[in-house]
Amino acid sequence: MRTAFMYRIGLAILLGLSVPSVLHADDVEEGRAAIGAGDYVKAWRLLRPAAEQGNADAQNAVGALLLEGWGVTPDATAAASWFRRAAERGHPRAQFNLGQLYDAGRGVSRDYAAAAFWYRRSAEQGYAPGQSQLGSMYALGEGVPQDWAEAMRWYRRAADQGDPIAQYRIGFMYAEGQGVDKDHRQAHAWYRRSAEQGFPAALFSLGRVYENGWGVTKSQAEAFRWYREAAERGHGEAMEVLARAYEGGLLGLSRDPGQAAYWHDRAREAKTKAR
């Protein structure tokens, strides 16, 4: 499986100021506030002129508006162009965003080497999502030589900043013995750090940890708790686990055909949305 858990460009990435600039600063601040309020038409009106005048935060924001279709017709190619303009001015979020587009082949031709290049530019400025994605490129050997030690190094830098995806990936490396000795206790610790931030894959993995007793005391109640939380956060496989548990009376549950049908339906909906 290639790079899972891509970071969706959202308000946290869009609104963060990175490159100090006084050029159009008031308009950019007001544009950011408009985005937070969901007034994307106003945001576009304020941010586009600032972007044209070279404000990197505005350029990154305009790229995100175009990519997501917030207040404008979606245009991934134009989004990539704006991200590039900001990235070339040293904006770490724009560098990361441009890397994501190359990684996914969205608005540009898919190019893992280019993705790794821009992730590295972002990572070297300390931007945690860039560090985490660069770690994944090393783990998968995409755009860079496969190197578990480098993967762990970049994951750890992101995880130490609280990045939940990097924390999950470190847990997975310990669980599977990827470049490190297999260590279920370490896996559990890192999964929990990620899960406490609500990351669905980590929540699901904790369910498996407790169901199987990997590095912890086996507990059906704890397994159900984590599977349920993962399912509530949209994890399709967790939904299927709950459906089977209610069907067969597993995980300490009583059989409940209604709940089984409910979770089967939710799982099918999740698969349809993922396509």
Tell me the per-residue pLDDT of 152-207, one tens digit each, with 9 for 90 and over. 999 999 999 999 999 999 999 999 999 999 999 999 999 999 999 999 999 999 99
Go through the domains of the chain in sequence order and give each one's CATH number: 192-275 (1.25.40.10)
Task: Give the position of tokens 């990361």.
Answer: 96
Between helices 220-232 and 200-212, what is the axis angle to 10°? 160
pLDDT beyond 90 at 135 = yes
pLDDT in tens, 213-249: 999 999 999 999 999 999 999 999 999 999 999 999 9
Q: What is the mean pLDDT of the chain?
A: 92
| pTM (two decimals) | 0.89
Question: 273 falls in which pLDDT band (50, 70, 90)?
Answer: confident
pLDDT in tens, 47-73: 999 999 999 999 999 999 999 999 999
Residues 6+ apart with CB under 8 A from 126: 92, 161
pLDDT beyond 70 at 7 = no
- As a residue count, the chain comes to 275
Residues 6+ apart with CB under 8 A from 190: 159, 167, 168, 170, 171, 174
The alpha-helical segments, DSSP class H, found in the chain are 11-14, 25-36, 40-52, 56-68, 76-87, 92-104, 112-123, 128-140, 148-159, 164-176, 184-195, 200-212, 220-232, 236-248, 257-274
**What whole-number distance in Å separates Cα of residue 72 and Cα of residue 65?**
7
Nearest to 35 by CA among 52, 59, 12, 8: 12
